[in-house]
Amino acid sequence: MKIVQTGDPVLRGAARELTAAEIRSRAIQELVERMRDTMRDAPGVGLAAPQIGESIQLAVVEDREEYFRGADPASTAERERSAVPFHVVINPKLSVVDEEPVEFFEGCLSVSGFVALVPRARAVRVECLDERGRPAAIEARGWYARILQHEIDHLHGRLYLDRMEPRSFMTTASHSRFWRGQTTREVRAALGLHATIWRARGSAAKR
């Protein structure tokens, strides 16, 4: 499926919730399968329906071990990253569990070719429906929490561009050439950024 890029109005609108009947319909079941395949083909760790032009509150998530198997173990530990099996999130309600901000470079399939430092809450809870319309509750920390916040932002018309540190915005090529392997603290110092970063309390991340 084609992944729409920033500037497309569908990425800036609030997606509508799905009814139980819609979730169980053949159309939505087929859409989930196509989104899964599109996400894996990209490849990415998450994909929200607005990113493929559908303004509905549905996202797919999967973080395969192969995506970070060759990464520096210290970097993986710092990000609290571990494998996340494929699952579907529908009509999610997100709340912050641990408001301690963590900041790492983040990209988006709908902002192709760019990354930036983005602060996110360390831990979140998401109440949602699964692909069969059954209630589900997700407790997530670290990179998994970041993925969920990123995808749920899409369902409310927000991109990481709205949360990023503007001076850190760069192409993926520049990130690989100049900044890969550096800690967030080192990057902030090199870019002349203040040490204090965003706080989760009272932020849009709670919505």
Helix ranges (DSSP H) in the chain: 20-24, 26-41, 73-78, 142-155, 172-174, 184-190
Q: Are 39 and 62 spatial neighbours (Cβ–Cβ below 8 Å)?
A: yes
Task: Please tell me the pTM assigned to this model.
Answer: 0.93
What integer is the mean pLDDT of 2-31? 98
- Residues belonging to the active site: 151
What integer is the mean pLDDT of 129-137? 97
Inform me whether the pLDDT recorded for 77 exceeds 70.
Answer: yes
Q: pLDDT tens for residues 27-37? A: 999 999 999 99
What whole-number percentage of the chain has pLDDT above 70? 94
Residue that wins the pLDDT comparison between 108 and 196: 108
- CATH number of the 9-202 domain: 3.90.45.10
Inform me whether the pLDDT recorded for 50 exceeds 50.
Answer: yes
- The dihedral built from the CA positions of residue 118, 123, 203 and 18, taken in this order, carries a sign that is positive
- In which residue are the tokens 């169980």 written? 24
Q: pLDDT tens for residues 57-72? A: 999 999 999 999 989 9
Query: Structure tokens of 147?
Result: 């993925």
DSSP string, 90-119: EEEEEEEEEEEEEEEEEE-TTSTTEEEEEE
